[in-house]
Amino acid sequence: MKMWFASCPKGLESLLASELETLGAQKTRETIAGVYAEGSLEFAYRACLWSRLANRILMPLEKFPVDSADDLYRGVAAIAWELHLTPHESIAVDFVGTNDAIRHSKFGAQQVKDAVVDRLQSHFGSRPDVDLKHPDLRINVRLSKDQATVSLDFAGDSLHKRGYRAAMVPAPLKENLAAALLIRAGWPEIAARGGALIDPLCGSGTLLIEGAMMVADIAPGLNREQFGFHGWAQYDTALWQRLRQEALDRCQVGLGKELPEIRGYDKDTRAVSAAQENVACAGLEKWVRVMAKPIEAFKKPTHRQINDGLIITNPPYGERWGDMEELRPLYQTLGEVAKRECPGWRMAVITGNAELAGELRLRAEKKYQLFNGTIPSQLILFQLREASEQVQTQRKELTEESLSEGARMFANRLRKNARKLASWLKQSGVSCYRLYDADMPEYAVAVDFYDDAIHVQEYAPPTNIDEEQANRHLSEVRQALLYLYPESRGKLFFKERRRQKGESQYQRQVTRSHASGVFEVMEGPCRFEVNLSEYLDSGLFLDHRPVRRLLREMASGTRFLNLFCYTAAATVHAAIGGAQSSLSIDMSNSYLEWAGRNLALNDLDQQRHQLQRADCLEWLAMEQGEFDLIFLDPPTFSNSKKMEEVLDIQRDHSKLIEHAMAILARNGTLVFSNNFRKFSLDEELKSHYDVEDITEKTFDPDFQRNRKIHHCWLIRHRTSPWHG
């Protein structure tokens, strides 16, 4: 009997120890990231072939103290290397660890290599070659606590490399970690009961392939052509051939049985193609099916009776706050479809982000700590309840006592604000409004309602609030909203508001959203499309509601011009108010298309109400046409590549207004607005025109707290004051 060492990812030591015992180990002892096992040479070969969890199988040769570089050289040179290899075999040295004498692993590896080749030179009269990529024999040296352990690596390449991964996707699970997750999740027991295995976010298919190999009794090393012991001078060819033939026979028997249903889905067609290629390389294409399907469309297979099963998946998790917010809907949808489609099943999710895991809205049955590469992660197990149990659980969760103290405080503020607005909302009929706007500085968010959908935008938190606190506060905001408005659970959208520059204001902000945020809403007599999931802003600036109402009241019989028109909400109001014609100008194709949909929603003739793509600065400078009512609401700053000039509203507003006044009819009105909080109107304009500051009149009750959100003026030619 020899002592062997099997290495593995951290957190899998106990599983590996149990596995090694089933493979013939007489005794096992766990340590960090590995297991010592006593066993025969047959056990070592069998472990290389059959271990689903190990990285390497090492045969320790010697252990000795190292207080100097000479100690390392002498200790290695004292080993009888002539018993293990000849000069005809190439070698590589893996050296791990340092101490005061060996401060660099490369230096340590060099000392070991020199000692080995010098010993063989002395014995055989020639030296072996070094091949770092594909050596015949790999030597492993671990230096810890001034003790060097020298071993032969029987695995050669890491055992997680089964040989079937022909195609890759970003951030794949290693094969041995995938196998460990399946074992932890109880897949062998579920499969024995005839249960199914489904991965709704399958990526390259590793979990599916490992699950199929388990139930088909396929040795994970069966497809590998080379192991480290093949270059060992004492390699027992007959023993290895017997063990491999045994594995081939077991594979044939396993694949001859009816396997459980094993399916994978992914919305990314490239991932699906990669998974299908890997499944084919593993020889499992008859038993493992992979299809392109988004998580929202997930359904339990119905072509045969399936009463039990395991949903297991490794969803993405973000490192930045913005990534997290984009992924929240994915986790929410995953939890919802799993509960709906597979009641009574088990679900297993691996994630490196506990907060995102909370978005599953499922009660965890068990959690295992482990490492996915270098990332501390959790495997979380859930027992999906039957439908009747789910309803009862949701009711229990939606109690005020279940909220954190911060969430209760935030919920109380929302209630208070709702009471203040209730009478106005009832009288006005407004259904799109702001309920909260950073009332409490530590909860730096704006909460807007669009009927029963909720749009939450996070501002930059105060400087005394660190990122961890800010994330906790955001979670408390979510808790409070879900508690107070359970009917909006599937219509809750979170955004991170950053300072926008140039073209970024027109770009999609959420590229991986898994919940549709497109709704139709009413504002007075006007109908609008809002998008709460894909852009930073919704398509309807709620603070400008009174300004749009004013434009509607002023528009009858006018020729209306809307500059920097965005989604043309102001144009719709003007047209509904009786504008004879309108022209709406913006440089963004995306927003002009959106504007067109808004016009169509209100049955407006787009021959009379035209949209034009142009740089407003250039268009205004031409001073062409004449209009009775002009709405000029430029951004604070823009340096878009589509614009010839850089716009700074404080610097450039006089020029913009002068150009606009040049095309304003003598009895017309220019409504000028902007949202630069420190804005100051050029006093010289007041000497040329009648200028009326109406800012204070342009705030409905839901924006009374924040009167710096915009400024607004009526500007007219002196000879024709507006009588409105």
Q: Residue 511 pLDDT > 50, yes or no?
A: no
Q: Give CA–CA dist 535/415, Å, rounded.
A: 28
CATH code for the domain of 12:
3.30.2130.30
Q: Are residues 40 and 123 in the same domain?
A: yes
Q: What value does the CA radius of gyration of the chain take, rounded to a whole number of Å?
A: 34
Above pLDDT 90, what percent of the chain?
A: 75
Q: Residue 528 pLDDT > 60, yes or no?
A: yes
- What backbone phi and psi angles, to 5 degrees, belong to 188? -55, -40
User: Average pLDDT, stretch 321-332?
Assistant: 73
Confidence of residue 487 (pLDDT cuts 50, 70, 90): confident
Q: Are residues 537 and 593 in the same domain?
A: yes
- Last residue in a domain, options 453, 474, 497: 497
CATH code for the domain of 425:
3.30.750.80
Query: Regarding predicted confidence, which is higher, 463 or 142?
Result: 142
- Residue 153: predicted pLDDT: 98
Confidence of residue 504 (pLDDT cuts 50, 70, 90): very low
- Residue 644: predicted pLDDT: 54
Q: What is the pLDDT of residues 277-287, one digit of tens each?
A: 999 999 999 99
Q: Are residues 484 and 553 in the same domain?
A: no
Q: Which two tokens mark 154?
A: 């029987």
- Residue 645: predicted pLDDT: 65
Q: How many helices (H) and strands (E) are present in the chain, helices listed first?
A: 20, 29
Query: Does residue 167 sit within a domain?
Result: no
Q: Give CA–CA dist 716/3, Å, rounded.
A: 94
Q: Give CA–CA dist 154/137, Å, rounded.
A: 8
- Residue 359: predicted pLDDT: 87
Q: Are residues 598 and 691 in the same domain?
A: yes
Q: Are residues 56 and 85 in the same domain?
A: yes
Confidence of residue 684 (pLDDT cuts 50, 70, 90): very high
Confidence of residue 498 (pLDDT cuts 50, 70, 90): very low
Q: Are residues 559 and 595 in the same domain?
A: yes
Confidence of residue 639 (pLDDT cuts 50, 70, 90): low
User: Average pLDDT, stretch 442-468?
Assistant: 86
Pairing of strands 288-292, 262-266: parallel
Q: Are residues 204 and 137 in the same domain?
A: no
- Residue 707: predicted pLDDT: 81
Query: Does residue 515 sit within a domain?
Result: no
- Residue 361: predicted pLDDT: 86
Q: Out of 306-315, 532-541, 549-558, which region has the weakest mean confidence (pLDDT)? A: 532-541
Query: Does residue 437 sit within a domain?
Result: yes
Q: Are residues 590 and 711 in the same domain?
A: yes
Query: Regarding predicted confidence, which is higher, 441 or 43?
Result: 43
- Residue 513: predicted pLDDT: 36
Q: Residue 387 pLDDT > 70, yes or no?
A: no
Q: Are residues 595 and 643 in the same domain?
A: yes
Q: Which two tokens mark 673?
A: 């607005």
- Last residue in a domain, options 366, 396, 426: 396
Q: Are residues 297 and 369 in the same domain?
A: yes
- Residue 318: predicted pLDDT: 65
- Residue 516: predicted pLDDT: 61
Domain count, the chain: 4
Q: Residue 550 pLDDT > 60, yes or no?
A: yes
- Last residue in a domain, options 120, 153, 186: 153
Q: Residue 685 pLDDT > 60, yes or no?
A: yes
In which domain, by residue range, is 97 found? Answer: 2-153
User: Average pLDDT, stretch 534-550?
Assistant: 93
User: Average pLDDT, stretch 589-605?
Assistant: 95
Query: Does residue 382 sit within a domain?
Result: yes
Query: Does residue 386 sit within a domain?
Result: yes
User: Average pLDDT, stretch 247-259?
Assistant: 95
Q: Out of 256-270, 362-376, 553-567, 607-621, which region has the weakest mean confidence (pLDDT)? A: 362-376
Averaged confidence pLDDT in the chain: 90
Query: Does residue 510 sit within a domain?
Result: no
Query: Regarding predicted confidence, which is higher, 377 or 507?
Result: 377
Q: What is the 3-state secondary structure (H, E, C) of 169-218?
A: CCCCCCHHHHHHHHHHCCHHHHHHCCCEEEECCCCCCHHHHHHHHHHCCC
Query: Does residue 521 sit within a domain?
Result: no
- Residue 319: predicted pLDDT: 52
Q: Out of 232-236, 329-333, 352-356, 611-615, which region has the weakest mean confidence (pLDDT)? A: 352-356
CATH code for the domain of 675:
3.40.50.150
- Residue 121: predicted pLDDT: 96
User: Average pLDDT, stretch 466-471?
Assistant: 76
B/e letters for 217-243, b = 16+ CB within 10 Å, e = fewer, are bbbbbbebeebbbebbeebeeeebeeb
Cα–Cα distances in angstroms (integers) from residue 339 to residues 515, 558, 665, in the given order? 17, 56, 63
Highest mean pLDDT among 47-61, 371-385, 522-536: 47-61
Q: Are residues 630 and 688 in the same domain?
A: yes
Q: Give CA–CA dist 71/566, Å, rounded.
A: 75
Q: Are residues 367 and 434 in the same domain?
A: no
